A and B are shown apart, each in its own frame.
Chain A
């Protein structure tokens, strides 16, 4: 159980989670993660696909430093801020959308925020309180918050669910732009294999609980032939395990 952030270095994100279990009242401990080990070079995007309830959120929480009760180590070879989109929006209900963003990104310039709110179609809602927003709008506000931080590590827990297809598509485009503009190591949990193939440099397929890594698929070029090959590989691994990934 060690966490280290060697300052000012450009090392990889090195995850070695040997075991993670939760105490249960009746029958001892429930194991949720087992031997999750991978190394992600600085600036790479990893997507995690696996069945519901397999422990993906738990893994993200460990990497984010929110859960320190596990066996193993998380070494972040670089400093800098963390941006995170939780499964729920987790906005401060007593602050407006704009205040919610500014509170975590005090350094963000007015121009940057204006562009960000424009892209996420949040401009008419800047002064609204989260209670006035629909869930889709609140999720976009949470995305704005994570994007506003000049994060070197971006953790996204199913960020594009409950958004309509067109908007989700545009937001994926924004994410790509953001990632290309500077090195952001990104962890993306998703149910959508196409989304994973479209965004990630590396695709991890996880098993049902306790989650293990079934396959690690590097995604190189995105021409039809390569993506078809990856799609086939995903289908083979997941089909073999007869695990639904929808």
Chain B
């Protein structure tokens, strides 16, 4: 059993690092343990943990069911693969955008109503900017999710794609090829993040300037 020494090593490193970095930057294990106990006593820990676990369980089982159903109904086809990915991505997007819709400021909505702003203009200038950060969050988390699901789907039932190649390389113990494909794939993802997602986000939040 390597687990016990590995946990012990972690705790020792943690403790040493906390001594080195100071209590404010990195609280020691005993402080964190005290916080866990306090949260557990108040009941907050159990409440939040249960909520998260319930969401994870529900989402995970739904996602798995959807992938399997897609392949059962559609066969191992391109359409089934894309549908499975899309449907898996959808709930995540819906939940995030719904949070955004909930956070809409009624004061601004009233302003648009009093000034009789036409519906289309109000959506573009009043509603969309409020939802935009949630949209960006959904896009980012969605993108990372879709990357992974696509790889899995390719691994399971497609005759080409990075996931397929990595699956083949894995079966042939061709570690060099696995790393090669993984590196290129990571590079492409990072490029898209830097070139597309981040500039869009910067543009959408350019009004968030510090007070002059």
Contact = CB atoms under 8 A, between A and B. Distances in A.
Interface in B41-71: none
Contact of B211 (A92, A132, A149): A132
B4 interface: no
A92 B115 CA distance: 13
Interface in A102-147: 103-104, 128-129, 131-132, 145
Contacts of B209: 129, 131-132
Contact of A90 (B111, B125, B212): B111
B129 interface: yes
A65 interface: yes
Given A90-B111, A92-B108, A92-B125, A128 B117 contact: no
Contact of A93 (B114, B115, B207): B207
A104 B117 contact: yes
Number of contact residues on A: which range applies?
20 to 34
A95 B115 contact: no
A146 B108 CA distance: 14
B113 interface: yes
A149 B212 CA distance: 29
B3 interface: no
A81 B118 CA distance: 12
Contacts of B115: 81-84, 104, 145, 149
Number of contact residues on B: which range applies?
10 to 19
Interface string B111-139: 10111110001000110010000000000
Interface in B110-168: 110-111, 113-117, 121, 125-126, 129
Nearest to A66: B110
A94 B204 CA distance: 8
Given A103-B121, A132-B209, A90 B108 contact: yes
B24 interface: no
Contacts of A81: 115-116
A65 B114 contact: yes
A64 B207 contact: no
Contacts of A145: 115
Contacts of B207: 93-95, 129, 131
A84 B114 contact: yes
B202 interface: no
A93 B108 CA distance: 10
B208 interface: yes
B107 interface: yes
Nearest to A100: B125
Contact of A66 (B113, B116, B212): B113
Contacts of B110: 61, 66, 86, 90
Nearest to B212: A132
A69 interface: no
A88 interface: yes
A172 B110 CA distance: 25
Contacts of B108: 90, 92
Nearest to B122: A103
Contacts of B125: 92, 95, 99, 103
A75 to B, nearest CB: 18
Given A92-B129, A103-B125, A86 B111 contact: yes
Nearest to B117: A104
A95 B115 CA distance: 16
A124 B113 CA distance: 29
Contacts of A103: 117, 121, 125
B158 to A, nearest CB: 42
B21 to A, nearest CB: 35
Contacts of A82: 114-116
**Which 5 A-B residue pairings sit nearest by Cβ, starting from the closest?**
A104-B115, A94-B129, A94-B207, A129-B207, A90-B111
9 contacts: A61-B110, A66-B110, A66-B114, A92-B126, A92-B129, A95-B207, A104-B117, A132-B211, A132-B212
Interface of B: 107-108, 110-111, 113-117, 121, 125-126, 129, 207-209, 211-212
Given A66-B113, A129-B209, 4 more contacts: A84-B115, A90-B108, A90-B110, A131-B209
